[in-house]
Amino acid sequence: MTKPFIEVDFARQSKAGQGAPGDVFFSSRLADEGRIVCVLADGLGSGIKANVLATLTATMAMKYISSEMDIRQAAEIIMATLPACSQRKIGYSTFTIVDIRNDGTIRMVEHDNPPYVLLRGAEQAMVEKAILEINTANLGQRKLLYSCFDVQKGSRLIIYSDGVSQSGMGSRQMPLGWTNDRAVSFLAKRVQQCPDISARQLSKEAVAKALGNDRYVAKDDISCAVINFRSPRKLLVLTGPPVDPSRDKLMAEKIAVYDGKTAICGGTTANIVARELGREVKIDLGRFDPAVPPISTIEGVDLVTEGTLTMSKAADILEKGQSPEQMTSNAAVKLVDAFLQSDIIEFMVGTRINQAHQDPNLPVGLDIRQNLLRRISDLLNSKYMKDARLTFV
């Protein structure tokens, strides 16, 4: 049985009036081992202080787990290291650690965060959890919850901070807050309504619902991470003419039969594909953006954009971590959205010299195509947990 692709995404809303989030989510794909490690830490309070403490917790967890330390031992060290609040006698950060192993097992440790949600399809699966009792100098005896279960395609693992479960607290409709039961019901219903909903979309909807419970003035930091185990969504991106014109037909045929979404970046590349497939390139002048050339259309291709300028803008968006949904739509924003909606992104990069890129009037920071594609690929792999691949033709 083919291993499912593991999609990880996260959404967050800071407490009203706070610039820095008190919740921190880190995730990393360990390339050499095929493991994925995720940590959600919720610092005590809100703002800068909570952010620093949550970041400290998440950083320690990532470092220990990535170095092959047993997840339980790592959690014990974190608990022993974290200082205690002198007034409330509790640790400065709660946390949930997820260790997805290459052998298909998931190990988890929870400390005072709301319980994670495991959905098999749209049904909640219950997992047995062992209680680990730890003696700490700062906090006395504390309890951690440890669980281990197998990866299954079609499952979703959802972790969130108490800003989700306690949202709406004190209101007439929710005097005790949204509660975990209601949050789970909401998540299961959304999966039932939309079985293919992405991790990105589900996490955003959970945070948006919690914010709505707070009447759109967040009373606490609201965070939700979703880990989705499913068949991969694929995207093929053609950019640049092949070094040998005899390979033009091969490039066009690749996009014609591809079993996923397709995009073309570059006017010359678009003209090659259109010519070889007997189709027409049409420029969409409906929306004008002075910073990014307009989108074009070719029958059977999902997205057609200009090349290096648009990809350079897309790389900047990826580097800054901007959300396409919160930006004015243009070709670069649509390209980033296509990247984020996909799991496996295959770049077929032509290596014929494009004379336009030698123009000294172009911006100084404009990368040549190959370096630019390596930059985008590295960002997608390291920052966005994608599987981006480069093929040069």
Residues 209 and 240 occupy one common structural domain = no
Taking residue 304's Cβ as centre, other Cβ atoms within 10 Å add up to: 26
DSSP letters spanning 128-173:
--EEEEEEETTTEEEEEEEEEEE--TTEEEEEE-HHHHTTTTTSSS
Residue 121 is part of which domain span?
Answer: 5-230
Tokens of 304: 């057609």
Beta bridge partners of 281: none
* Average pLDDT in the chain: 88
Residue at a domain's end among 230, 254, 277: 230
Q: Coil, helix or strand for 303?
A: strand
Q: Which of 195, 230, 265 is the last residue of a domain?
A: 230
Q: Which pair of structure tokens corresponds to residue 336?
A: 């980033």
Domain count, the chain: 2
Tell me the pLDDT tens digit for each residue of 67-113.
878 877 888 788 777 766 555 555 578 899 999 998 889 999 999 89
What string of H, E and C letters represents the secondary structure of 354-387? CHHHHCCCCCCCCCCHHHHHHHHHHHHHHCCCCE
Residues 246 and 222 in one domain: no
User: What is d(CA 348, CA 392) in angstroms, rounded to the nearest whole number?
Assistant: 6
Pairing of strands 344-349, 234-239: parallel
Query: Looking at the structure, do residues 151 and 255 belong to the same domain, yes or no?
Result: no
Q: What's the DSSP call for residue 260?
A: S
Q: What is the pLDDT of residue 100?
A: 93
Same domain, 219 and 248: no
For residues 145 and 289, membership in a common domain is answered with: no
How far is the C-alpha of 160 from the C-alpha of 116, rounded, in Å?
A: 7
- Residue 177 belongs to domain with CATH number: 3.60.40.10
Are 62 and 16 in the same domain?
yes
Same domain, 215 and 242: no
pLDDT number for residue 364: 39
Last residue of a domain, one of 190, 208, 230: 230
Residues 149 and 37 in one domain: yes
Which residues contact residue 353 at a Cβ distance below 8 angstroms, ignoring those fewer than 6 apart?
none
Whole-prediction pTM: 0.82
**Residue indicated by tokens 């209601």:** 182
Residue type for position 380 = L
- Determine the pLDDT at residue 363: 46
Token readout for 318 is 């990826």
Distance of CA 208 to CAs 13, 24, 314, 338, Å? 8, 18, 26, 22
Residue type, 329: S
Whether 184 and 202 map to the same domain: the answer is yes
Residue 90's alpha-carbon distances to 54, 82, 85, 206, 331, in angstroms, are 14, 10, 6, 28, 49
Secondary structure of 9-63 in HEC code, one letter for each residue: EEEEECCCCCCCCCEEEEEEEECCCCEEEEEEEEECCCHHHHHHHHHHHHHHHHH
376: left (phi over 0), alpha (psi -120 to 50) or beta: alpha
The alpha carbon torsion through 270, 377, 322, 61 (nearest 10 deg) reads 160
- Over the stretch 204-261, which tens digit does the pLDDT of each residue have? 999 999 999 999 999 999 999 999 999 899 999 999 999 888 899 999 999 999 999 9
Domain check: are 95 and 243 in the same one?
Answer: no
CA atoms of 29 and 381, how far apart (whole Å):
8
* Ranges in the chain, pLDDT < 70: 1-2, 31-33, 83-91, 136-140, 353-367
Alpha carbon 65 to its chain centroid, in Å, reads 20
Q: What's the pLDDT at 16? A: 94
Please report where in the chains the tokens 């996009």 appear, as a residue: 255
Same domain, 182 and 299: no
CA distances from 32 to 7, 246, 345, 378 (A): 18, 37, 20, 15
Phi then psi for residue 236, to 5 deg, are: -110, 125
